[in-house]
């Protein structure tokens, strides 16, 4: 199988209550593809400037990520997001966004990506997400993520994209915004009426819920004492989830449940260090060990 991920590769400036990091590598596509690379060989579509670090490109290559769809704009500057987390890692505030090379980005799917089995539209402008459907042959599975900014500013196109995907990844706030429903269970189920066959509700430190049309699956987050940097947790969740499905090549309820646990596992590694630093050392054996830990954590 094959997994194509369209999203952002970026610089992030991050403030937590304890520490600040200036212009470290981030972006939805970055986190998602790194997480997915522990299961499959993801193909990415994104844009960066000439200022993007070679060391990260080398990390992508070492992780066997297909970079044919990664456009480098000569003389361009990479997209930059600056945000601040409070003591509650589930809440963050955007301080500044420099679009840079993203301003004129029109994602182009390379010929070798067009027969993707799984297509993931990571968080970017839904106008861009919508242009992707025309560029690929019908994937077996499509999934999307978004943020509150787009739900507020571009609801029509967002709902059109939502209607065309099989899986929607959203956090509690986003799912409440889309449906106008406070109760998370009702809200999650309401999303199923808008197109997707599966909704993954991400609740940060409280885990995640997967709503299918005929089942519900609940998974806890890793009970960790140290959340260093929550950035990218959701994108890594999607990466672990879709990477696993791409690897096993099936979408049965049983595989969906396991995929969701692998999603939680990858998110739990991401938040253990700033930016993508954890991926510089993370071993496949650690991924498997944490999956087994999750099993023990909930078994009775």
Please report, as residue ranges, which positions from 266 to 295 form the binding site for a copy of itself (by CB under 8 A): 295
Q: Which is nearer to a copy of itself, 57 or 194 (CB)?
A: 194
Helix axes 184-192, 172-179, angle to 10 degrees: 60
Q: Say how far apart CA 264 and CA 246 lie, in whole Å.
A: 17
- Minimum Å gap between C-beta 266 and a copy of itself is 15
Minimum Å distance from CB 283 to a copy of itself? Answer: 22
Give helix 155-164 / helix 172-179 axis angle, nearest 10°: 110
Name 237's Cβ contacts closer than 8 Å, sequence gap at least 6.
Answer: 35, 169, 200, 202, 208, 263, 264, 266, 267
Among 168, 217, 269, 274, binds a copy of itself (CB under 8 A): 217
Q: Which of 44, 23, 1, 68 is nearest to 235 (CA)?
A: 44
Residue 77 touches a copy of itself, criterion: CB under 8 A = no
227 or 242: CB nearest a copy of itself: 227
**Smallest gap from residue 117 Cβ to a copy of itself (A):** 22
Rounded Cα distance between 105 and 158, Å, is 18
Least distance CB 297 / a copy of itself (angstroms): 5
Within 10 angstroms of residue 54's Cβ, the number of other Cβ atoms is 7
Per rule CB under 8 A, is residue 205 in the interface with a copy of itself?
A: yes
Our CB check for a copy of itself shows the closer of 223 and 249 to be 223
Dig out the tokens for 128 from the structure.
Answer: 């861009």
Shortest Å, Cβ 264 to a copy of itself: 10
Which string of x and - marks every residue 153-192 that binds a copy of itself (by CB under 8 A)?
A: -----------------------------xxxxx--x---
Residues that bind a copy of itself (CB under 8 A): 87, 182-186, 189, 203, 205-207, 209, 215-220, 223-227, 254, 257-258, 260-261, 295-300
């Amino acid at each position: 199988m094959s997994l194509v991920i369209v999203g952002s590769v970026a610089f992030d400036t991050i403030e937590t209550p304890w520490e600040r990091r200036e212009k470290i590598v981030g972006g939805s596509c970055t986190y998602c593809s790194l997480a997915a690379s522990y299961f499959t060989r993801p193909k990415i579509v994104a844009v960066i400037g000439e200022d993007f670090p070679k060391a990260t490109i080398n990390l992508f290559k070492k992780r066997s990520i297909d970079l044919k769809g990664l456009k480098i704009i000569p003389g361009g500057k990479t997209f930059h997001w600056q945000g601040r987390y409070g003591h509650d890692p589930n809440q963050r505030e955007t301080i500044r966004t420099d679009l840079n090379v993203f301003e004129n980005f029109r994602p182009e799917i390379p010929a070798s990506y067009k027969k993707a089995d799984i297509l993931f539209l990571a968080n970017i402008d839904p106008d861009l997400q919508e242009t992707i459907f025309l560029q690929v042959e019908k994937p077996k599975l499509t999934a999307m993520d978004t943020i509150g900014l787009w739900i507020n500013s571009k609801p029509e196109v967002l709902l059109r994209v939502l209607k065309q995907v099989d899986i929607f990844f959203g956090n509690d706030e986003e799912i409440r915004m889309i449906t106008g429903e406070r109760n998370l269970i009702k809200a999650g189920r309401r999303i199923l009426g808008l197109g997707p066959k599966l909704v993954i509700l991400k609740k940060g430190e409280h885990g995640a819920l997967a709503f299918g049309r005929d089942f519900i699956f609940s998974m806890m987050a890793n009970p960790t004492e140290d959340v260093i940097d929550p950035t990218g947790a959701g994108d890594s969740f999607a990466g672990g989830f879709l990477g696993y499905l791409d690897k096993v090549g099936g979408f049965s309820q049983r595989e969906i449940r396991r995929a969701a646990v692998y999603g939680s596992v990858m998110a739990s590694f991401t938040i253990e260090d700033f930016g993508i630093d954890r991926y510089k050392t993370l071993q496949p054996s650690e991924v498997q060990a944490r999956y087994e830990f999750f099993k023990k954590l909930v078994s009775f």
